[in-house]
Structure 1
Amino acid sequence: MKNRLLNQLWGLTLLLSLVQWATAPPVHAQGADKTITGRVTDQSNSDPLPGVNVLVKGTTVGTTTDAEGTFRVTAPANAETLVFSYVGYLAEEVAINNRSVIDIGITPDVKSLSEVIVVGYGTQQKRDLVSAISTVDAKQIEKVPTASFTQALQGAVPGLQMVSPSGEPNAPARILIRGVGSITTGTEPLFIVDGLPVASGGTSPLTYLNPNDIESVSVLKDASATSIYGSRGANGVVLITTKTGKQGKAQFNLSYNVGYTTPINELELADADEWRTLVGQARTNSGLTDPFRKEQDLFDQRQTGRFVSENIYDKTNTDWVNKVKQNGHFSQYGFSASNGTEKASYFISGQYRDQTGNFINTRFQRYTGRVNLDFQAAKYLKLGVRYTYSFEDEQPRATISPAVTPTDRNINWGAWPTFGNLYDNALPILPERWANGDAFDPLSLNNITYSADRTNSKRDVTESNQLASLFAELTPLKGFVLRAEGGVNYTVNNDQNWVSGRLRAQEFRPEDTGLDNRFQLDYIYDDGVPRFTWYDRRSWTFNTVGTASYKTEFGTDHRLNALAGIELIHSDRETWQNDWEDAASVRNPSEVGAFVRNPEQLLEITHNLHPQVRFFSQFGRVNYSFRDRYLLQGSIRRDGSSKFTPEDRFSWFPSLSGGWVISDEPFFRKDTPLSFLKLRGGWGITGNANIDPFLYFNQYFNWPNYPNRSGAIILGRLGSRTIQWERSNTYDAALQFGLFNDRINGSIGYYYTKTTNLLLDFPVAPSIGVYGTNTINTTALDNVGSMQNQGIELEINSVNVTAGSFRWSSAFNFTTNKNKVLELFAGFDGDPLQLSFNGLTTVQEGQPLGLFYLPEFAGYDDSGNVLVREIDREKAAQQEYVFTGNDVRNTGNSQNVNSVIQYGKTGLPTFYGGFNNTFSYKGLSLNVLFTFQGGNYVYDNIGLRRVGNGNNNLRKDLVGNTWTPQNTDAPYPVLTWNNRENQPLDPSKPAQSLSDRSTQNLHKGDFMRLRTVNLSYALPNGLFKKNFMKGANVFVNLNNVATFSKFSVVDPEVLNNGGPTERNIGQGVIGGVPLWQVFTASAGVNINL
């Protein structure tokens, strides 16, 4: 693997060397130079243009015009052409023809304003937009050569926040547009690919889409843009348009990309010597003077299956993290072909990506193919096909430990390695193997490498995705277009898990170990039998849209564009789960096929038919323009969904917006630096239908459950007949500007969104008789709350320097977001634990979502134990936090009664953005992207700060940083045995469990990251005049280069991977060791044939 990567990088290095040789500047024949002067003006009004670049074509000789638009350039005797270029104007080439004076008028480039932008169910010119829409084109996506196109959105779109805390293959990510708009439902945007809605799954949206197939991405942010999608538009809409064939010569492109990844920003653990020292300190501090190993050989506690006499406590130093960590590598191959005529066009592409992860035995492979066809079947009829297929084959890192499922004499599912277990329980003093080569403790989760070995356990996940659509456009009259489109998104996910009998315990029996009773094990275990589980999920969404649009002009002042349509969506899914178990035959994964085919080994088959979901919608939109400077847009949609009762199934979602191009007014002065000015504003209503279907029905469960039988059918959830969409009212206004002929351009805007009908669990009387899984469930779900988000978006694009062939441009965006919960359910008394994430965060009226709820750190007592500020409990019961003036030890009891709402401190950032710089010289281009966010807090709940009873790892930063009489200002408290107060064995002092939960572990989460560095070189066209190649581009790309943050324990970019509620109110809580952030380096070449 290593040699393969080195060979690939060596080959690229050789290619770059050849390029450097081939593109060395030619030696010109000596001759008399000639001086050329002239003047450059705006062709539309004859105004002189300062700062125009004047370049002698084929050379590096050039100059710029002065304040009067004049220039002087000395050109070689054989020079033939001058090139004039200026921001906001079309480039012009002028033949010299032995002239010494050349005056020219250059034409304004109206493309930036007439550029066509994809919007909901159509397109609009950028100049006519009266909505908050940001775009990312193919060139921007190509600068970030990653597995998922969403990486290209990070830091590029104002108002869009993307959280991607891991570089693993197929790693999770989360996209938010203008903040979190819900408490208990999904907040991810709606994704549309070529008009077909696709599911994002909450994280990892559209990893199966080939980024090189994308022509453009439009991000719809305000309600005037998203209300056309009605109940699915509350969280924003991301429209993805793929490439099509263009008229002209056929294009054939080849691409190759290779790179490697390595983990960064990891949590460092104590090694064996440090661990033994810290444990010894804890025991000494607790009055236990004997070394830990002398009281009881540690391995007698841990080794399952046999007891050993050898004592290797002092002989082992296992770095488990480095045993399972590796540098990953990837390679990616792609091609595309396209062409077009007046009658037909095609775009065909394919890509293969092979990537190994940074956890041993993890791998991700993806195959994608696309065919886009367009036919002009008749003068008035256009037909089109969009089809893409992807197949993903993943060997993932196991993330959970299988549940214990007793069958016959086998008492556990099997031990798979977990990321948290690697850091929690794989101690450095535990050996990987005994001296005779046998694995140490194979039946627990502690021997990570043994469990991760695919001959002992294996997990394979495959997923195929098909997106297919057909459309027909009929134009019976000028300006009148009828369009019909139908599509399907079909997904098949297959998850296979196999566990060897070597990892499964069987045939437990009592054994008199003769050990001290405090450490005696009642049972030991032998190997069990293998088990195999196959999980299959199939989902499909059918989408049918019919629209009628009409464009017309009245005289020279009026333009009208109207759209009407209907849409039907039908979603369905099925799941199967089969479990097999074999007594003896399967001992390695190669036998799984025969194992599965034996029906006698089948334990259980589960087949679930999930509720179908249907939407039926009618929508319309009208755009009107008067004199191209007064703009008006109105839209409305009526949505119906099977998720709700027939009485509340339909709802209306309107919007209204307008714009004024001030710079086109006669009174607007043309002799100022301000070249463009436009004011726009809008209002609209959208909905959020990201909820489970049929919540209006009562739900019943088996309870209680007994082995092989059920007890009774009980009411598990109370349905609500009035449940509806969450609704968002959005107000948006912005000022768009251009300076110095749009050399500097951008916008500044304000948005306000109020979400009502929030779906929340509210209390109901216990006498109703609603039961949960094991306890009385005294809540029901209904629309009972409201919340708001507001903020400012700033975007500035500029061309900073243009000097000859050198150009430096920048793009900066900055977004603020202020979240506030306005209202919760009736009767909410402010109890912080009524809406909470693990008791660490809370939801309160009048406050941001997910406030931290922690005791106030007050230092250490004389023994080094954490002190917290005591609160008046009677007043706290009324949600009034008054400190008594006393400081008390932070025990398990005191943390609960002394927790305080940390006002203003939440895991949601209050600002974020990106700063991109591009430097180009001839064919060389350097792109540098910084991203940042701040105003949020992160809570370090990772733990590993206390010794406990020697069963867990310890953080390296504890070494020399814990409280001692000589180090009273240490960042960590005194170490104690079993997390107890200093003298737990003294019967005169009641021992209490000590707690780490306090504001001592709450940190600011601000960070700035050098996200991407991309260096590319386009080989000169002259190299390819006499061969089959039209052009080539070589590049080097770095991702996650450096991170700057005061929080240095782990990477500050935190993602909660739980359900919607956990993601929304638990953001910022680092509940366990997070996945590794990854630095990526890659190089590649793109060839045009």
Structure 2
Amino acid sequence: MRLKFHIISLSFLSLLFASTSVTAQNVRITGVVTGAGSDETLIGVNVLVKGTSIGTSTGLDGDFEIEAPPDGTLVFSYIGFQTLEVAIANRGIVHVALEFEASQLDEVIVVGYGTTKKRDLTGSVSSIKAEDIRAVPVLSADQALQGRAAGVVVQETSGEPGVGTSIRIRGTSSISAGNEPLYVIDGIPMLAQATDISSGAAQGPRLNPLSTINPNDIASIEVLKDASAAAIYGARAANGVILITTKRGKAGQTTINFNFYQGWQNVRNPYTLLDASQYAHFVNEANYYAGNGRVYDDPSKFGEGTDWQNEIFRTALMSNYELSFTGGSENIQYAISGAYYKQDGVIRGSDFERYNFRANLDGKLHSRITLSNSLMFSHTKSNKILTDDNAAFDGGIVTAALSFNPMLATRDENNNLILKNYAVDNDGNPIDGTQTDADGNVIPEKTLNTFANPLLKIYDSSSQSKISRIIDNFSITFNLLEGLDFKASLGADYSISRSDQFTPSTARPAGDSFASSGSNSSFALLNEYTLSYNHQWGKHRISAVGGFSAQKTSVSGLFVNAIEFSTDQFGYYNYATARGADVITNYPDFTFLSWLGRINYSLSDKYLFTLTGRADGSSKFGDNNKWGFFPSGSVAWRMSQEDFLNDVRWLGDLKLRMSYGIVGNESIGPYLSQALLVPVDISLDNNLTIGFEPFLFPNSDLRWESTTQFNIGLDGSLLDGRFGITMDFYIKSTFDLLLTTDVPFYTGFSSVFGNVGDLENKGFEFSFKSYNLIREFKWNTDFNISFNQNTITSLADRNNIPNSAGLFGIESWALLTVGEPVGKFYGLVTDGIFQIGDDPESVPRFPAESPLTPGDRKYKDLNGDGVIDDNDRTFIGSAQPDFSFGFINNFSYKGFDLNIFFQGVVGNDIVNFNKFLIERQNTTSNITLDYFANRWTPQNPTNEYPKVNADPAIIRRYISNAEVEDGSYVRLKTITIGYRPSSNFLKRIKLSDARIYLTAKNAITFTKYSGYDPEVSHFGQSATNMGADLGGFPNTSSYIVGLNIGF
């Protein structure tokens, strides 16, 4: 704890010494900056007096005004143009023209433990810059990646505020270990599990660890995709690496920026369900086909009734406030920012708040000694609503709203919430067990299903989470010799979190209250030493880095679950009165030691070579496999430098790349290789006592999952860099998958966790960037598309492994099978509808089912035994997409700018469990208007929807292709229009910059999917259960107005 205090204290003390330079005896200089070869003025060009902190930027007309020494030098810099230095030479007017540099081959790219120029890359790396992130308001850094990097599929699995996305870089690489990439923020690997408190405290998706970072603090995001780029991170790089670099100060006048936006969100596509009168008609017809009498004499008298979706959903507000200061002198630079973000969820009662502070400081102690410190503090608060659940627990609020009787009012005559999903009598009264018949006998309570009133989850239940996090990284760099630097760094990542949930007895089907609380703290200490060398002599250029890294993580957690409280009055403050409580403590520690190195060599700027290696030791793995070595190598040939292409004037740059390497995946629990014991109750001498029994079979040979990757790529730029392309083909093979395998019964265990199984991803990526117009009217385009094919190639001695969670009593709906992708759906195939005149004895049916009658659904008897059972199931869909893409166009004219961003995923399927719930034949739930309008009747002998039937004997244990839908979509992800006033106007109101903008997110979506949104996953980041939709927190359409001001 003392070390953490010193780290934080050092960061804040450094702020006190930030200073800027003041220059006297200056003269006033004005001028205009244009693009070379045109009269086009350039807006926002940085103008700096060399060697001082004096700076400004050009206005709307490309004009600038600055005070500088008459013998000084002005430095002009602008993204996409070459930096230019101009001597003032006692002039009062300085007009300059900047040369276009559209190829941006000299753009600096952050790679592991260093930087490199884009032109020198031999691996596959995608880069997203600050201006791309700032163009569209997003909650977290991972959302900024969606559709912007080839080979990266980002899925917003839930619309719940603060909840994480699912990211796959070049496909699914593991079955049971993690598939999420490694995040490295300012040199510190991010520990996602440190804030994962949901498992012990609340059902539903976990909070997003990246939601603690303010996206506008980010300077760049680099995605390391192939083994050559990622191998410097060794055993944690199998799923790719995402490097997040935050903004730093620059020498120059202090710049103050204030950013604000306000927005609102709506559910994009709510289901159209039956209203009260339609539902009454449905009940009458369903009872008719079940052989029962008419229930309601006049369905129309019930009117519209209650729209339960409308009761739980709302138009939700969001707001964001940011203030930042950047500047400094040649000796010290600073970037300081603070932000507050608030987002209400579209489900009533849910919200998310975030407070951020960041201070990045850089300074020189000596001409050969530099210091750097990056400090981030964040605090988040979240009110959650139970969703993404099934009947095995409480029933989520969305599934309850979908299934609830529209004939019910939300409250009774005493203004108390209706408790259960009651049936309604002919007079519209709920049959809740309080009524009596003509003889004075109590009429038994009658409910449609076990769901409680969804409003109880909003008004009587609670679920809160809080996370505080501090990340600090301090480094000192010594320039030992020209080109030789030694760097020592010390980083810390400390987080504390708390979550509490309470569901009263009235809101649970079993009538027993439930509470859950969890607290978690994590402290990771990272110590690294690196030696880097850069030198060029003649045609030879070399850069190298080598070092040592040690990281220790300590986590402590306490989780409590309890049921049946004596009273609901005190919520989760009342554990002492619960019938029983389960207490779980968790104190995992794990250590990571590493040796790393990389060497880059260039010959004649034409032939490029990279060798990388990292040796990692982890305490997570068995005694026989604590260490692993992960090497990679890559080469590149810049063909455009060859003599035979010298005369091809339209070709700016052409480079062929090839790489191969091995990386690892260590995303498992810290003690899976060891023998573990669990406490059990035992009886000794008729006395109950606590003992221990073996829980996990040890495996001293447990080792990392290893992924080999071959990559061949092509980078090209045309017409002086106006057009650029990147293509990559890869084969990514994962070996030693971490899975359970059977062991002999005499061991006392049924299985052991071991390295069995292999899978493969093959894919192709294409990116295109163009500067279509570069004069007064500007237009540039970014396009990327990625194809990936996932295949399980081995499961050792096992095959057809059921590997999906049960929902609503449905048996396994996904299988792991050799030759098929992960996430393959498994179920029955429909065969139309039984029609009038069909022979009932000739149609296969379920074993316990009566012969089919007209209007019943038929299923294919695939094995021909005359019975429909689990032997007739087959593959009916896949959650893996065929390809994904992003398409961005940026336009600007004078002060106006327009950004249009399309994004899409094609070829994946979704199991719509909501549809399984609300398109049943019986009356245990409301149903969709589409089903009811197009159901089978003698007058409408359709082959799509069966007849309605109140017979409760109709029970389905399997999904079918009727619930599997095409999840492909193309959406207008964002459209933003902005306006920046003229420089003359800004000068009059004493501002350096100002911009107002309007943004629409998810405004238009083209999809065949009938659910709330095709971007959904009931099980979040799970690889084996992806593609399920059941009662999740819907994604939203949002509309934002914002303002950026610079002082």
TM-score relative to the length of structure 2: 0.81
> Where in structure 2 are the equivalents of 1:957-976 lying within 5 Å?
957-976=930-949
Q: What's the counterpart of residue 542 of structure 1?
A: 525
State the alpha-carbon separation in 2 of the partners of residues 89 and 193 from structure 1.
29
Alignment partner, residue 552 of structure 1: 535
Spell out the pairing of 1:312-331 with structure 2 (5 A cutoff): 317-331=305-319
Aligned to 2:387: 399
Contact kept in structure 1, 2:792 and 2:820, CA below 8 Å: yes
Name which of 483, 487, 492 aligns with 1:483. Answer: 487
| Equivalent residue for 2:221, pick from 214, 217, 221 | 217
Identity %: 28
Determine the C-alpha separation between the residues in 2 that align with 1:196 and 1:350.
21
For the 8 Å contact 2:862–2:872, the answer to whether it is kept is no
Give the Cα separation in 1 of the matches to 2:336 and 2:548. 31
User: Please, which moves more after superposition, 723-732 or 856-865?
Assistant: 856-865
The CA distance in 1 between the partners of 2:220 and 2:40, in whole Å, is 32
In structure 1, give the amino acid aligned to 2:786: T
Q: Residues 197-236 of structure 1: matches in 2 within 5 Å?
A: 197-201=189-193, 204-236=208-240
Rounded to whole Å, the distance in 1 between the matches of 2:723 and 2:359 is: 39
> Match for residue 575 of structure 1?
557
How much does 1:463 deviate?
0.9
Counterpart for residue 592 of structure 2: 615
Instruction: Give the C-alpha shift of residue 165 in structure 1.
Output: 3.8
For 2:346 and 2:409, how far apart are their aligned partners in 1? 22
Partner of residue 703 from structure 2, selected from 724, 745, 748: 724
Q: How does 1:443-458 map to 2 (within 5 A)?
A: 446=451, 448=453, 450-454=455-459, 456-458=460-462
Asked whether the equivalents of residues 293 and 313 of structure 1 are also in contact (C-alpha less than 8 Å), the reply is: no
State yes or no: 1:1048 paired with 2:1020: no
CA contact (8 A) 1:264 1:1078 kept: yes
Q: Shift in Å at residue 492 of structure 1?
A: 1.0
SS of the equivalent of 1:1076 reads coil
CA distance in 1, matches of 2:78, 2:419: 71
Superimposed CA distance per residue, residues 831-855 of structure 1 (whole angstroms, 9 cap, x where no aligned partner): 4537888521212112222222222
Q: Is the 8 A contact 2:103 2:722 kept in 1?
A: no
SS at match of 2:770: strand
Q: CA RMSD in A?
A: 3.9
Q: Structure 1 pair 138/709, CA: closer, same or farther in 2 (3 Å)?
A: farther
Q: Tell me, which stretches of 5 or more residues in structure 1 are unaligned?
A: 1-39, 42-51, 59-75, 96-102, 295-310, 405-412, 507-524, 771-777, 874-881, 982-992
| Alpha-carbon distance in structure 2 between the residues aligned to 1:1055 and 1:502 | 29
Query: Amino acid of the residue matched to residue 657 of structure 1?
Result: S
Deviation at 1:200, TM superposition (A): 3.1
Query: What residue is the counterpart of 2:720 in the other structure?
Result: 741
Matched, 1:924 2:896: yes
Aligned to 1:663: 640
1:688 maps to 2:676? no
The Cα shift of 1:995 comes to 6.0
Shift of 1:737: 0.8
1:933 alignment partner, one of 905, 922, 925: 905
Is this contact kept in 1: 2:277–2:301, CA < 8 A?
no
CA contact (8 A) 1:869 1:898 kept: no
Residue identity in the other structure for 2:781: S
| Structure 2 residue 985 is matched with structure 1 residue 1039 | no
Q: Residue 686 and residue 313 in structure 1: after superposition, are their counterparts in 2 closer, same or farther (change >3 A)?
A: farther
Among 790, 794, 798, which residue is 2:770 paired with?
798
Pick the aligned partner of 1:563 from 536, 540, 545.
545
* Alignment of structure 1 residues 659-1058 onto 2, 5 Å: 659-702=636-679, 713-770=692-749, 778-802=750-774, 804-826=775-797, 828=798, 830-831=799-800, 833=802, 838-862=811-835, 894-902=868-876, 905-942=877-914, 943-945=916-918, 947=920, 950-980=923-953, 993=955, 997-1057=959-1019
In structure 2, the CA distance between the partners of 1:645 and 1:763, relative to structure 1 (3 Å rule), is closer
Q: Structure 1 residues 416 and 682 mapped into 2: Cα distance closer, same or farther (>3 Å)?
A: closer
In terms of mean alpha carbon deviation, does 1014-1023 or 576-585 score higher? 576-585
Q: Which residue of 1 aligns with 2:145?
A: 153
Q: 3-state SS of the aligned residue for 2:802? A: coil
Q: Deviations over 1:190-224 (max 9, x none)?
A: 00000011123587340110011000011100000
- Once residues 865 and 331 of structure 1 are traced to their aligned partners in structure 2, the CA distance between those partners, rounded to angstroms, is 63
Name the residue aligned to 2:159.
167
Name the structure 2 match of 1:354.
342
Corresponding residue for 1:1086?
1044
Output the CA distance in 1 between the equivalents of 2:868 and 2:995. Answer: 64
Q: In structure 2, which of residues 1000, 1024, 1028 is the aligned counterpart of residue 1065 of structure 1?
A: 1024
C-alpha deviation, 1:901, in angstroms:
3.1
Partners of 1:251 and 1:785 lie apart in 2 by: 55
Contact 2:531 2:546 in 1 (8 A): yes
CA–CA separation in structure 1 for the residues paired with 2:652 and 2:214? 39
Any conservation in 2 of the 1:946–1:976 contact (CA below 8 Å)?
no
Deviations 1:787-824 (A, max 9, x none): 1101111000012234x411111100010001111111
Letter in 1 for 2:1041: A
Which residue identity does 2:1027 align to in structure 1? G
**What is the CA distance between 1:419 and its match in structure 2?**
2.9
CA distance in 1 between counterparts of 2:186 and 2:842 reads 57
Give the 5 Å matches for 1:581-600. Answer: 587=569
Q: Summarize deviations over 1:515-562 as a string: whole Å, max 9, x none.
A: xxxxxxxxxx8xx9x8865421111211111101111122x2111111
Separation of aligned partners in 2, 1:791 and 1:504: 47
Q: Distance in 2 between matches of 1:402 and 1:111?
A: 53
8 A contact 1:855–1:868 mirrored in 2: no
Q: Deviations over 1:161-206 (max 9, x none)?
A: 0001433311331011000001111100000000011123587340
Conserved in 1, the CA contact under 8 Å of 2:846 and 2:868?
no
Question: Structure 1, residues 319-342: CA drift from partner, whole Å, max 9, x if none?
Answer: 111111110001111100011211
Once residues 357 and 966 of structure 1 are traced to their aligned partners in structure 2, the CA distance between those partners, rounded to angstroms, is 44
Q: Which amino acid aligns with 2:588?
A: P
Quick one: distance in 2 between partners of 1:220 and 1:869?
56
2:151–2:169 CA contact under 8 A, matched in 1: yes
What amino acid maps onto 1:927 in structure 2?
Answer: N
- Give the CA deviation at 1:620: 0.6
Q: Distance in 2 between matches of 1:87 and 1:672?
A: 24
Residues 1:552 and 1:832: Cα distance change in structure 2 (over 3 Å): closer
Q: 1:324-370 CA deviation, whole Å, 9 max, x = no partner?
A: 11100011111000112111111110001122111111121111001
| Cα distance in structure 2, aligned partners of 1:442 and 1:961 | 30
Matched, 1:462 2:435: no
Offset, 1:475: 0.9
SS at match of 1:113: coil
Q: Distance in 2 between matches of 1:240 and 1:54?
A: 38
Aligned length, in residue pairs? 921
| 1:287 correspondence with 2:291 | yes
Q: Is residue 419 of structure 2 the alignment partner of residue 438 of structure 1?
A: no
Post-superposition offset of 1:501:
7.3
C-alpha distance in 2 between matches for 1:868 and 1:815: 48
Superposed, which structure 2 residues align to 1:18-29 within 5 Å?
none
Contact 1:421 1:445 in 2 (8 A): no
What secondary structure is seen at the aligned counterpart in 2 of 1:1064?
coil
The answer as to whether partners of 2:234 and 2:663 remain within 8 angstroms in 1 is yes
Give TM-score, length-normalised by structure 1. Answer: 0.78
Counterpart Cα distance in 1 of 2:395 and 2:787: 43
Per the TM alignment, residue 130 of structure 1 is displaced from its structure 2 partner at its CA by 0.5
Alignment partners' CA distance in 1, 2:266 and 2:723: 39
User: Gaps spanning 5+ residues in structure 2: where?
Assistant: 1-34, 44-60, 66-75, 88-94, 194-205, 422-448, 848-858
> Which residue of structure 1 aligns with residue 258 of structure 2?
254
Instruction: After TM superposition, give the deviation of residue 739 of structure 1 in Å.
Output: 1.3
Using the TM superposition, name which of 628-637 and 531-540 deviates more: 531-540
| Residue 939 of structure 1: how far off its partner (Å) | 2.4
Aligned to 1:301: none
Whole-angstrom distance in 2 between the partners of 1:868 and 1:926: 63
Select between 566-575 and 238-247 the one with higher mean Cα deviation: 566-575
